[in-house]
Structure 1
Amino acid sequence: MKIRILIFLQLLYFPLFAQEGNIYQYLKQKWSKEFSSAKDITTTYHDNIKRMDKKNIPLTIQNNCFMILKSGEYITQNNGEKEDIKPLLRQIPTIELNDPTVVAFMQQNSPGQWTDYYYMIQALKKGETFDAARDGISISTQFLARPLNHNDYTKLKDIFSSNNKLLHDTYLEKMKFLFRNNGCPEEIAELRPTIESHVEDSPLKQEILKLYTQYEPLSKGQSAPLSSMKDTNGKTYSFADFRGKVIIVDVWATWCCSCIEKMPKFMQLKDEFKQYKDILFLTISIDRKSDQNKWLKAIKENNMTEMLNLISAPSANSHFETEYHINGVPRYFIIDKEGKIVTVFAPGPGKEMKALIQNTLKQ
């Protein structure tokens, strides 16, 4: 009789778990289906809890990890809009990112994506909107890029303050993208001491510290590099020639479709500030010298002749693209009346840029 009971219990409590290595594979199979509702997710989660040995802590943690993964996928796929998401959030357990079982799980399940889901869920639980809660650090084909916000910076600070080497390496890689697209704003600069003191030394860490050194001269309040540029008549300029004016710059190229598409919005913004005498809107092309005729033609075709249009003019002592780390276009600058950088990674022409310009004019 006792033998029958033992056999029954073995069948009841995950026979596949006779060996520890089968735990993950069993749960992966249970969680592998497509979930059409939050109820499906919570049902799978609680069914696993009912069947598992509560003393098996690693198993419990892995089930929690899968719950976060599948909930994150479901919330993201539905843009945080479905009504069943709020009750789903209440069912998602708290988890410790530095737990060895969690680290092992991340190694098998895209650590960056899983961690992004984890922090998104935490922000949603606090009442943040989906757009504010979702990851703003990585490139996404599903969503439009948005400026980094307090959730993104909090996530980076938490990760680099931890002792999780896997996440350190994952997010140091992401830092390369942040520098290229955001420069070194104050919030990124504040992460440097944490990275220096908490992250194990490696070639990747040294690469990031080198990027700090490269981009810090382009931070807010620094003097704008006085790169050499020429207008359509060949006259040479630098930003020093415009002291006393707030300078708004659109960096573009004739081969850049996005640049051409956004140019009318830039010119519209220029018209909105035409009553101000202490502001100057101008464009800087990074077209090569051999493409100068294309540049001149594009200026006429796109009705840009009422603006000051400049083209990068590299010299032995000056190179605009290098000094401003132009890795892609369009890029937008705002420089104050004293020639100090407000931002050389400004948002595109629109409400946010307009607000930045208005604040700069008041100073």
Structure 2
Amino acid sequence: MKTKLFSTLFLSILSVSAFAATITGSRVGANEKSSGFFVEAFSAKGRVLFKSLKFDQNGKFTLDFPTNEALVYWIDNFPVYVLPNQNLDIILPARQSATFVIGGSADQTAAKPTMLTEANIKINGKSEIDNLLINKIQLASADLIKEKKAALSIKEIDQQYADEAKLISKSKNPGLVSTANFYNEMHYMEVKLQYLRSHQPTNVDENFFNIIDKISLNNPAVNSLKAIGLRSLVTGYYTFWRLKEGADIKDDDLIDNGSVGKMEFLLKNVNNERLINEQLSQNIIYHLSISGWDAHLDKIMVAAIEKTTDASAKKNLIELREKYSKVSKNAIAPDFSISDVTGKLVNLSDFKGKVVAIDVWATWCIPCMHSLPYFLKLRDKYKDNPNVVFVSISTDNSKSKDKWLSFLKSKDMNGVELHAGDEKSSAFEKAYNITGIPRYILIDREGKIIEDHAPQASEPEFEKLIETALKSK
């Protein structure tokens, strides 16, 4: 029995250690006092490796990671293709601190964050064609955009793509070739998008957009991207696809990070679990924070919940749907109780039978400062109308309460001024899902929400909504 148990344990240990990539390395000029760096790796499961590495007294580091699949390791943001059981010795480029002048005086200087002295890494004792191939592709596209900028030409873009494809063909590793081709096509599309942002799309022929036919968001290589790369890919792909269909590059749908069109596109065309679990969820969350819940978005959320496979992401979407749908158009506005400048509690129910226009703001919020004068102008315009009340609710924290009071005095603000930034009143922010400011909320005379994410007071539509509500019985 003991022999059998020992054999089982031995095989278990062997199975764990049989596949372990070992990465050693150093940084030029580094020692134990040098700042460390992060290493990340991703697969279909999401991020499978996230580790902070430090240098020893000789500026060296070691990483052992057990895996039975080839992965792209993001080592200090450099993508390195590593096979199971592969040993690599990497040399990272040096980082250096710089100084900059403060206030125009040469003797007043401060240190900038450390910056890479070059944008490449090296591998000791072996060919770099395979392991650093993806890094080379990434750098080539970044350099082309940086050097050429608005002078970028289609000929140069096509030539770079051909050069990288030729380099990829030298590799004998089928898995790497497939992954590297994906990166080359992805960056080819990104550089073309950069071109379109500097030139009129009418200057290109129909073949310009053909690269999108080679890229699939369901390609397994998608899973090797970092989260920021994943987001960039989805945005770039959706934008390029819409432009091919004839959209204007300035369309709001292409600029909006929470684009409904993008969410519908993902639901219809993507089966990659990581994209659905991460990016679709993030798009929904962003949309909720900016525009709130509506019936159209609800249909998207229901479909997203059904398609999401990650239990945590699914649970979050379910909770968000319930939370935001309760505070949306035509729903009964949650009552609140918030202190005014004298400390007296003011309730929403105090304004029963009136249209309530709410401005949620803070003294530190620059966009709030831009829109606040328009809100105050409207408040002054309707001051003699007993059927509407304008309520200013500050989210300045308790430590900034004196600053808020001083601001009110300086602007001669003596209407309904409430302070929701202390613990006693923070329930308001939770109840109304306040995730960003300025935020405008309109409530009708029956206590129902007209708009939970109303247009800013600086926009004509804001007053139009108030007028419509006043005319309603």
Shorter-chain TM-score range = 0.7 to 0.9
Question: How many angstroms apart in 2 are the aligned matches of 1:233 and 1:33?
Answer: 60
**Change in 2 beyond 3 A, CA 1:286/1:83:** closer
**Change in 2 beyond 3 A, CA 1:41/1:104:** farther
Residue correspondence of structure 1 range 292-311 to structure 2 within 5 A: 293-305=402-414, 307-311=415-419
TM-superposed deviation, 1:279: 2.9
Contact kept, 8 Å, 2:371 with 2:458, in 1: the verdict is no
TM-superposed deviation, 1:301: 0.7
1:349 is aligned to 457
Question: How many angstroms apart in 1 are the aligned matches of 2:425 and 2:413?
Answer: 29
Asked if residue 124 in structure 1 is aligned to residue 231 in structure 2, the reply is: no
Question: How many angstroms apart in 2 are the aligned matches of 1:68 and 1:236?
Answer: 57
**Change in 2 beyond 3 A, CA 1:44/1:276:** farther
Q: 2:200 aligns with which of 73, 77, 83?
A: 83
Relative to the length of structure 2, the TM-score reads 0.58
Q: 1:112 aligns with which of 220, 231, 237?
A: 231
Amino acid at match of 1:217: K
Tell me, which stretches of 5 or more residues in structure 1 are unaligned?
1-18, 138-147
SS in 1 for 2:260: helix
**Change in 2 beyond 3 A, CA 1:67/1:227:** same
Asked if residue 41 in structure 1 is aligned to residue 150 in structure 2, the reply is: no
2:189 is aligned to 68
TM-superposed deviation, 1:228: 0.8
Question: How many angstroms apart in 1 are the aligned matches of 2:136 and 2:426?
Answer: 61
Asked if residue 157 in structure 1 is aligned to residue 264 in structure 2, the reply is: yes
1:12 is aligned to none
Q: How many residues align?
A: 327
**Change in 2 beyond 3 A, CA 1:272/1:64:** farther
Greater shift in the superposed pair: 213-222 or 347-356: 347-356
TM-superposed deviation, 1:22: 8.3
Asked if residue 134 in structure 1 is aligned to residue 257 in structure 2, the reply is: no
**Change in 2 beyond 3 A, CA 1:358/1:175:** same
Residue correspondence of structure 1 range 172-187 to structure 2 within 5 A: 172-187=281-296
Asked if residue 253 in structure 1 is aligned to residue 362 in structure 2, the reply is: yes
The answer to which structure, 1 or 2, has the higher relative contact order (CA under 8 A, 6+ apart) is 1
Relative to the length of structure 1, the TM-score reads 0.73
Tell me, which stretches of 5 or more residues in structure 2 are unaligned?
1-128
Fraction of identical pairs, as percent: 24
TM-superposed deviation, 1:197: 1.5
TM-superposed deviation, 1:116: 0.2
Asked if residue 312 in structure 1 is aligned to residue 420 in structure 2, the reply is: yes
Contact kept, 8 Å, 2:276 with 2:307, in 1: the verdict is no
Q: Which has the larger radius of gyration?
A: 2
SS in 1 for 2:204: helix
Question: How many angstroms apart in 2 are the aligned matches of 1:108 and 1:182?
Answer: 24
Question: How many angstroms apart in 1 are the aligned matches of 2:357 and 2:191?
Answer: 45
1:335 is aligned to 443
1:323 is aligned to 431
More strand by share: 2
TM-superposed deviation, 1:119: 1.0
Deviations 1:218-255 (A, max 9, x none): 11111111101243455443222323332211112345
Aligned CA-pair RMSD: 3.9
Residue correspondence of structure 1 range 1-12 to structure 2 within 5 A: none
1:169 is aligned to 277
Contact kept, 8 Å, 1:313 with 1:320, in 2: the verdict is no
SS in 1 for 2:191: helix
TM-superposed deviation, 1:258: 4.3
TM-superposed deviation, 1:124: 2.6
2:377 is aligned to 268
TM-superposed deviation, 1:317: 11
TM-superposed deviation, 1:194: 0.8
Question: How many angstroms apart in 2 are the aligned matches of 1:108 and 1:231?
Answer: 43
Deviations 1:312-355 (A, max 9, x none): 39898993122123334332111122211122222322224345
Question: How many angstroms apart in 2 are the aligned matches of 1:328 and 1:28?
Answer: 35
2:393 is aligned to 284
**Change in 2 beyond 3 A, CA 1:292/1:94:** closer
Deviations 1:141-185 (A, max 9, x none): xxxxxxx5xxx1121122234311121133124443433333323
Question: How many angstroms apart in 1 are the aligned matches of 2:188 and 2:261?
Answer: 23
Question: How many angstroms apart in 2 are the aligned matches of 1:300 and 1:109?
Answer: 44
TM-superposed deviation, 1:282: 1.8
**Change in 2 beyond 3 A, CA 1:221/1:22:** same
2:212 is aligned to 94
More helix by share: 1
Deviations 1:96-143 (A, max 9, x none): 534425635756981110110111122233233424243312xxxxxx
Contact kept, 8 Å, 1:124 with 1:130, in 2: the verdict is no
Question: How many angstroms apart in 1 are the aligned matches of 2:388 and 2:282?
Answer: 38
1:16 is aligned to none
TM-superposed deviation, 1:193: 1.4
**Change in 2 beyond 3 A, CA 1:244/1:65:** same
Question: How many angstroms apart in 2 are the aligned matches of 1:289 and 1:340?
Answer: 30
Question: How many angstroms apart in 1 are the aligned matches of 2:249 and 2:201?
Answer: 15
Contact kept, 8 Å, 2:419 with 2:425, in 1: the verdict is no
Greater shift in the superposed pair: 185-194 or 169-178: 169-178
